[in-house]
Structure 1
Amino acid sequence: MNGSTRRKLSLYLNLIRLDRPIGWLLLIWPTLASLWMAAEGWPGWHLLTVFALGTVLMRSAGCCINDVADRNFDRYVKRTAGRPVTTGALAVREALLVGALLALMAFLLVLTTNELTVQLAIAALAIALVYPFSKRFISVPQAVLGIAFSFGIPMAFAATLDRETQHVRMTLAAIPDVAWVLMASNLFYVLAYDTVYAMVDRDDDIHVGIQTSALTLGRFDVQSVMAFYGIYLLGWTLIGLHLGMGNYFRLGAAIAALQIAWQNLLVRTRTREDCFKAFRMSHWIGFSVFLGTAVDLALR
């Protein structure tokens, strides 16, 4: 591999953020926790592969779209000024082609499930495409991101329906109410950690003129982040208990609560460094809930 090829490969890896796994980690733990709940335990290698690999692929595809949409804003933000589309190292057409290829690969995975899951995947993709542009028009664009990032939850419940229905045509009514409650609760998880993320870029975003939840919430940003985390964890805990989860699930939720308390100590400083540290550690909250769920169901 010559130097030019290595440089191009490095640019593509930078574009799809494979060197920064925090994005797909934040996505994958709630998705897998809901998959375990839906399957009432081990979901099998097929569904695990579809949802785990699909999450990574769609996160990377989303990065491509986001970088193209924000290329004229990112150059004024310290954290994003060096992104390959922003600097011109990668052409817009190249980035879109990479994003389309990754999204196609994820869609092919979903096609191995059932029709209802495929329909939900199409809706999730549409919302993901809207998100980068919502920053121009919505004061809390993180809410749009929260919906997109939480679509894996009803998809997980839809994908497990095949076991009982044996490929009978299904509608949204077939998805249990608990899936929608988990999705709504998870939206607040996304609001929490992405508001913390927005706090990192607050000064730059004011200069650029885009809207974020950190700017909209103003001096109530820290209190709002803690409230968002609280709503998320309360919703998931209540659903877990409703589904008959036991002490291991409770322990996972308790560890998540301790992490939220620790995050409060970080974000209340409102410094760029502490907020970015809190954001990078946010996925451990979702991991704790997932681990508690998986262990509890495995030991039933």
Structure 2
Amino acid sequence: GRISGREALWLFLALVGCAAALVLPLRSWLLAGLCLVALFLAASYPFTKRFLAIPQAYLGVAFGFGIPMAYAAQLGSVPGEAWCLLLANVFWAIAYDTEYAMVDRVDDLKIGIRTSAITFGRCDVAAVMLCYAMALVLIGGIGHTLGLGGVFYAGLAVAAGIAGYHFTLIRERDPQSCFKAFRHNNWFGASVFAGIALDFLLGGVING
């Protein structure tokens, strides 16, 4: 159902309160500071389409900022791999949200907002595929650094195959096919996750 502006504000404040209740017991100034940054990113994202040429990059930072927060909560620090993982998430967000922006390009041009699909122009398909590739390369590099094994890389291979399938969907820029590719990204993410989880699980079974 629909909610009013005032109800949305109260809901926002309630969710912020719930988040604070989860974070404050951890007593980490680093995590608290990152939470404030995350709050700013989430609150400011809706306005970025008026000012940024590729607001999807900002979306990727906002959506992925839980990555450095998780590291801060668990390790008390944010190592380089966390920022690399965040960058991978940014590339992925640009890829999938550009697919979505390709659906709305005509309407977005009419109302005067900016999107990556408009900025990339006729290079939009190539940009999407490059972003998928960069995300997979960064995730693969992190996995190599952490010593992950063959199952992890199998998951990346499946994700790469899914990205290739997306190319067949978006290359003609048909709005319905682009939207299908956008919605299909849950399988892209699930493949990466499954590769990581199964690699840890099977590695623990073999080594244990």
Sort the TM-score into its range (normalised by shorter chain): over 0.9
CA distance in 2, matches of 1:120, 1:131: 16
Match of 2:123 among 192, 217, 220: 220
The answer as to 2:46 corresponding to 1:129 is: no
Paired residues in the alignment total: 202
Deviation at 1:208, TM superposition (A): 0.8
Structure 1: 4+ residue segments shifted above 3 A: none
Deviation at 1:298, TM superposition (A): 1.7
Deviation at 1:235, TM superposition (A): 0.2
Q: What residue is the counterpart of 1:187 in the other structure?
A: 90
CA distance in 1, matches of 2:66, 2:18: 16
Deviation at 1:105, TM superposition (A): 1.6
CA distance in 2, matches of 1:295, 1:152: 22
CA distance in 2, matches of 1:194, 1:107: 29
Higher RCO, Cα 8 Å, sep 6+: 1
CA RMSD of aligned residues (A): 1.3
The answer as to 2:84 corresponding to 1:143 is: no
Q: How does 1:220-239 map to 2 (within 5 A)?
A: 220-239=123-142
Deviation at 1:127, TM superposition (A): 1.0
CA distance in 1, matches of 2:163, 2:20: 34
AA at the equivalent of 1:132: P
Deviation at 1:242, TM superposition (A): 1.1
CA distance in 1, matches of 2:90, 2:153: 21
CA distance 1:273–1:249, change in 2 (3 Å): same
CA distance in 2, matches of 1:255, 1:149: 23
For residues 100-136 of structure 1, what are the alpha-carbon distances to aligned partners after superposition, in whole Å with 9 as ceiling and x for unaligned?
A: 2123223322334341223212211111111111111
The answer as to 2:13 corresponding to 1:100 is: yes
The answer as to 2:103 corresponding to 1:200 is: yes
Assess if the C-alpha contact under 8 Å between 1:114 and 1:159 holds in 2. no
TM-score by length of 2: 0.92
Q: Which blocks of at least 5 consecutive residues in structure 2 are unaligned? A: 204-208
Q: Whose helix fraction is larger, Structure 1's or Structure 2's? A: 2
Match of 1:210 among 113, 126, 130: 113
The answer as to 2:169 corresponding to 1:256 is: no
Identity %: 48
